[in-house]
Amino acid sequence: MSDATHAMTESEVLNALEEAGAILRGHFQLTSGRHSDTYVQCARVLEDPVLTTRLAASAAARLTGRTVDIVAAPAVGGIIIGFAVAQALGVKFIFSERVEGRMQFRRSFEVPSGARVLIVEDVVTTGGSVAEVAELVADAGGEVVAVVSLIDRGGDKAFAHEFVPLLRLEVESWDPSECGHCAAGVPLDSPGSRRLS
């Protein structure tokens, strides 16, 4: 099997993240609102089209036996990897965006009634954005067949669908009221995309 078609293992995904400088250390506010001393900046990996294609093919390989009609991803983090997974599966791709704080399908994107939808995200901590996309799919009459992510940061999830991460990376996170870095006055960085307009 060539390197381009080889399904990446968890250790290969972790090595790719480390080599790309995607694992950051400091004091971060995650998209979920929780705080952590570790942040995974998947954009550093997804800026490489060849690697992104390999990651997407690896995700598609883990979905054997499932029928997918559409891939849906939450903006902004899920757009690149969502598109790449849709391309690997040979299906249509759509994404949701926040409008006044709530996820919506815009740009004439729609989920036909009965469509089998794969939700793709870059990093999942609590899965709040994934749960919002799943609700949009259900409201349209579609069915979520699974959720794929590059990284599962661990912890309880806000969704109950089958979850297929390429890498499980157990990283501690805290409620801001329990954050030792905040108590010590360490400056907070918020590199996520939730607050983008």
At 129-181, the pLDDT tens digits run: 999 999 999 999 999 999 999 999 888 899 999 999 999 988 888 899 999 99
* Residue 63: partners with Cβ closer than 8 Å, 6 or more residues away: 89, 118, 146, 148, 164
Q: What is the pLDDT of residue 151?
A: 92
pLDDT one-digit tens code per residue, 15-47:
998 898 888 889 998 877 889 998 888 888 999
* Mean pLDDT value across the chain: 89
| DSSP per-residue letters across 99-111 | ETTEEEE-TT---
CATH number of the 49-170 domain: 3.40.50.2020
State in Å, rounded, how far the first CA of the chain is from the last one. Answer: 43
Residue type at 12?
E
Beta bridge partners of 168: 152
Percent of the chain with pLDDT over 70: 94
**111 close to 94: Cβ distance less than 8 angstroms:** yes
Query: Domain residue spans in the chain?
Result: 49-170
